[in-house]
Every structure is written in structure tokens, then in C-alpha cells.
Amino acid sequence: MCGVEALPQPYKLLVSRFMRELLSRHGGNVVSMAVFGSVARGGFDSTSDVDVLVVMASLPKSRLKRYVLIGDVIDAIEPTRARLARVGVYTGVSPVLLEVEEAKYFRPLYLDLAYDAIVLYDKGGFLGGILAEVKRRIEEFGGERVWMGRRWLWRFKRGNPLIELCGVKLVD
């Protein structure tokens, strides 16, 4: 799925604001953005956060400094988040920030993103290329998602990509 229009309300409002603020303040550095998790899958409730993968051309090495870098964006969306809380939707944006070079390598997070991500922004098809390669690898390993208890889990018929793909570069 692609674009903010694919998101359910009221999350569409919050994510639109997040995307607009991020691009206006850091646009030259932003490569890709995608919503994943319960909001992307449609399994959300009134307390679900919005998981957003943000790939940037350059980022500080420190995780703390990465979040400080986009602190202005989080502050800017606070009025929208507060407005949603007043109508019973207690949400927020939970960004996962990766630098382009980091994003090129397999991470378990990509398994679900390959099938559930709602891509919001993708300069040059960077994230699309990664997710297509992950789908190919899932098929290669005979992967399927199964519902167990209260969550989705992955089962693989041929090997374990979580071990075999660890450290593998997916795109150049």
C-alpha cells in the first residue's frame, strides 16, 4: 500500500502532520518513510501508537542524538496528538530512525514491513527495493505468517532467515 490516503482515520491526520513537519524541516535528508505495525495492518485500537520507519541520508550514530534531531517534529505534532486524545484516541508517533547504509542490511523488522508497510515517501524507490528483496527472501525460505495467541509469528520451511540473513546487504 502507498500513501497517507491508505491510512485509517484518525491516524491519517497525525501521520500527515508528522510527514509534513519532517519533510519541511529535514526534507533534504529524508529518503523513505513508511507506517508499519498495528495501524498499517488494521489491527489497532484507541491506544495504538503509530510505528513509522524513517530512513535518512545521514544521522548521528547515537540513538539519543537521532531522536533529539527530530525532536522539533515531535513537538510540532503535539497539538494534533492532544486533539486526538480529547476525542478518546490516545496515540503518538513512534519513529524508528535508520541511516541509508544501515537500512540496506537485513533486519527482522523488515519481515512484517514487506507485507504490511504503508509507504508514505520513497525517494528513488529505495525502501521499495528493500521490501521487494525481503519478499523474495521470505519466499526463498518458504516463509509464512501464522497467528498464534495474540500475535503474528513467522514460520519458515527452509532454514532461518533471522540467522542466515543477519548482516546480509539487501540492496546496493
What is the DSSP secondary-structure string of the chain? Answer: -BSGGGSPTTHHHHHHHHHHHHHHHHGGGEEEEEEESHHHHT---TT--EEEEEEES---SSHHHHHHHTHHHHHHHHHHHHHHHHTT----EEEEEEEHHHHTB--THHHHHHHH-EEEEEGGGHHHHHHHHHHHHHHHTTEEEEEETTEEEEEESSS-HHHHTTT-B---
The mean pLDDT value of the chain amounts to 95
Positive or negative torsion for Cα 44, 47, 48, 52: positive
The fraction of the chain above a pLDDT of 90, given in percent, is 83
Global pTM value = 0.94
CA distances to 81, 101, 117, 119, 166 from 36, in Å: 18, 20, 5, 9, 21
- What's the rounded mean pLDDT across residues 25-43? 95
**Confidence at residue 9, expressed as pLDDT on a 0 to 100 scale:** 87
Rounded to whole angstroms, the Cα distance separating 10 from 85 reads 11
**Which CATH number applies to 4-169?**
3.30.460.10
Q: Given the DSSP bridges, would you call strands 93-99 and 151-156 parallel, antiparallel or unpaired?
A: unpaired
If one compares 109 and 43, the residue with the highest pLDDT of the two is 109
For the cut 80, the answer to whether the pLDDT of residue 1 exceeds it is no
Structural domain spans, the chain: 4-169
Whether the per-residue pLDDT at 29 is higher than 60: the answer is: yes
Arithmetic mean of pLDDT, 37-51: 92
The mean pLDDT value for 105-134 works out to 97
pLDDT of the residue at 2: 66
pLDDT band at 150 (very low <50, low <70, confident <90, very high): confident
